[in-house]
Amino acid sequence: MRVGGIVLHVSRASRVCLAVAAVASVTVAATGCSFAGAGDDVVRVYTARHYDLESAFEQFSADTGVSVEFLYGTDAELRERIQAEGEDTLADVYLTVDAGNLAAAADEGLFRPTRSDVLDRAVPRALRDPQDRWFGLAERARTIVYDPARVDPSDLSTYEDLADPKWDGRLCLRGATETYTQSLVASLIARNGYADTKRVVAGWVDDAEIFSNDVDLLKNIASGDCEVGIANHYYLAQLLDEDPDFPVKIFWADQQTAGVHINVSGAGVTAAADNPDLARQLLEWLATDGQQAFTAGNFEYPVNAEAQPVPLIEGFGDFKADRLHAAELADRNADAIRLMAETGYE
């Protein structure tokens, strides 16, 4: 069911309705449904992550007897909704993509600290909030992609090298307003400093054609419009799953330096959760027994070292990952946005 920009889902295990309130910039009509009380075995999730969640939540319900109600929306919509609902929020869990979005929710007071030995063991320290307000549950590698018919992989090396004039007219990038672009630039600022990163980004702008999403970027490489780009690994995996002969390959960036830029999909327990214990139980399951179900549908890498990625992305090969703490991406997000504006990156 879609209401305004938000999509509501009721699990098969429970026919509970989620009441919808109007919030400032998200106009939605209130429903007349009732909903279960805090004592019921139901955990409610507001999620900006749209990939194959229902099957994972159904498996959690089958394993635990706890039903999951979930509501889709954009990051901004859902954060604004949780703020507007305040102590009356229906959300026990806020689940989203990108460390910047997770940190923004934490800074806005939307999460409570969640102490869990299970999460401490399952989620690497670099992929969770230092104050235990949110936890990464899946890894996303943003790296170089290329047309093997026109690019020799020996000519590829680092994100910074793509600023070289040799890539002029050959490079495709995603727009500056996208969170994945912002986090990559934030990681370069953390590694190289503002001035050096500004020179790199200015070089990208001189070289590149800009796309609004990674799928269009990858398809333009495949069609010959450009030759090399930067994309999240799972978008290429999705296209290869549809067509094993899709003519774009992956190159792991920065293997002789800091390693491939890593971002996360993750979640936290809301500050006003009615069922914080059930919410913690869901996060623990997603980080352990549910890792395969949570990551496989979108070809993401598990955060838990005991879980295995699906064979398709295992075929991408091993790589060195940049273990910059995810929270640092959020700390430098505003600098990244300012830097890109200064270079004319749109």
Q: What is the pLDDT of residues 145-182, one digit of tens each?
A: 999 999 999 999 999 999 999 999 999 999 999 999 99
Q: Which residue has the higher pLDDT, 244 or 33?
A: 244
Tell whether the model's pLDDT for residue 3 goes beyond 80.
no
CATH number of the domain where residue 13 is located: 3.40.190.10
If asked whether residues 57 and 191 sit together in one domain, one would say no
If asked whether residues 91 and 126 sit together in one domain, one would say yes
Confidence of residue 51 (pLDDT cuts 50, 70, 90): confident
If asked whether residues 227 and 300 sit together in one domain, one would say no
Amino acid 31: pLDDT = 26
If asked whether residues 210 and 327 sit together in one domain, one would say yes
If asked whether residues 21 and 55 sit together in one domain, one would say yes
Q: Measure the CA–CA gap between 86 and 169, rounded to whole angstroms.
A: 49
If asked whether residues 100 and 166 sit together in one domain, one would say no
Question: Domain count of the chain?
Answer: 2
For 56, the domain range is 2-139+264-309
If asked whether residues 94 and 183 sit together in one domain, one would say no
Tell whether the model's pLDDT for residue 26 goes beyond 90.
no
